[in-house]
Structure 1
Amino acid sequence: MNTGKPMSDDEWEALERSANGTFWTYLGCKLVEWDGRQVVITLDVQPHHLNLIGILHGGVHSSLLDNAMGLAAMASRPQEKVVTAVLNVHFVSPIRTGLATVTAEIVHSTRKGITAQGRIMDADGRLGSIGTGSFRVT
């Protein structure tokens, strides 16, 4: 159930401006694609994103999935606020360096809740992690 129209280009630009200087930009996320139900973001993995054994930190995986799924949820309800209620992450294989691509999409929506799923792929197309998120519409 989508109670409104997907975000317009102007709304996306306003959202990107408001994200400047937040955790989003601190991580280095880049919005690549969106279509109202799916969002694609990327991260150029840098040494500060890695844990002590040289792979992408689990917290970065979680943050990327939360950001991408949250954007998909926000895009589906541009006139409302959405917040993460539940975030589940399954770590599948290590990501070391290069471009990580996160794809997220809405799988279910009700008046007060949105469920999304996401996945992170490394630069070679290997699955790094998958996640699901439940978002509360406030």
Structure 2
Amino acid sequence: MRVAEDFAAEQADIERHLAKLEELASGTFWSELGCEVVFAHAEKAAIRLRAEQRHLNLIGIVHGGVLMSMLDNAMGLVVMIACREKTVTAGLNTHFLESAKSGNLVCEAEIMHRIGRTITLQATVKDEEDRLIAWGSGTYRIVSR
């Protein structure tokens, strides 16, 4: 019974934190890009983007910068929930594996390693057919205590 109560309290705390982050994100690059949270907790998160004409490059596929932004935003979301401190992206590695033209893209991110003020994560972007579009890893640094 106590475990269920602790879990419920933790979930409620995460939801309050997500609501605060959503409020802070209004008018920022996050909202301009058009991402939405699918789920998020201190170890893993997923975001979704409905790829539209504005997300495409000149050859009609989703721009690599959009995919990199999704990777960075999903990993950053996990870090913000896990740390509750100001963090910055220290490094971002991206591998473009397939192209996407439009439709829903989902990016899932998870923590791989944490030591001191540095957190390393990995993330994937998949399309509606569950094809792996991009894979990336990121290193994030806590900048305040």
Q: Scaled by the length of structure 2, what TM-score is found?
A: 0.88
**Aligned equivalent of 2:90:** 85
Contact 2:41 2:82 in 1 (8 A): no
- Structure 1, unaligned runs of 5 or more: none
- Structure 2, unaligned runs of 5 or more: 1-9
CA-CA distance at 1:36 after TM superposition: 1.6
| 3-state SS of paired residue (2:62) | coil
Q: Which structure: greater helix fraction?
A: 2
**Aligned equivalent of 1:16:** 22
Identical positions, percent: 42
Residue 67 of structure 2 corresponds to residue 61 of structure 1: yes
Q: Scaled by the length of structure 1, what TM-score is found?
A: 0.93
Q: Structure 2: which amino acid aligns with 1:137?
A: I
Contact 2:74 2:109 in 1 (8 A): yes
Runs of 4+ residues over 4 Å off in structure 1: none
Higher relative contact order, chain-length normalized (CA < 8 Å, sep 6+): 1
Render the CA deviation track for 1:40-85: whole Å, top value 9, x for unaligned.
000000001001111110000111100001111111101x111000
Q: Structure 2: which amino acid aligns with 1:91?
A: F
**Aligned equivalent of 1:122:** 127
Count of aligned pairs between the two proteins: 133
Q: Map 1:1-138 to 2 at 5 A.
A: 8-78=14-84, 80-138=85-143
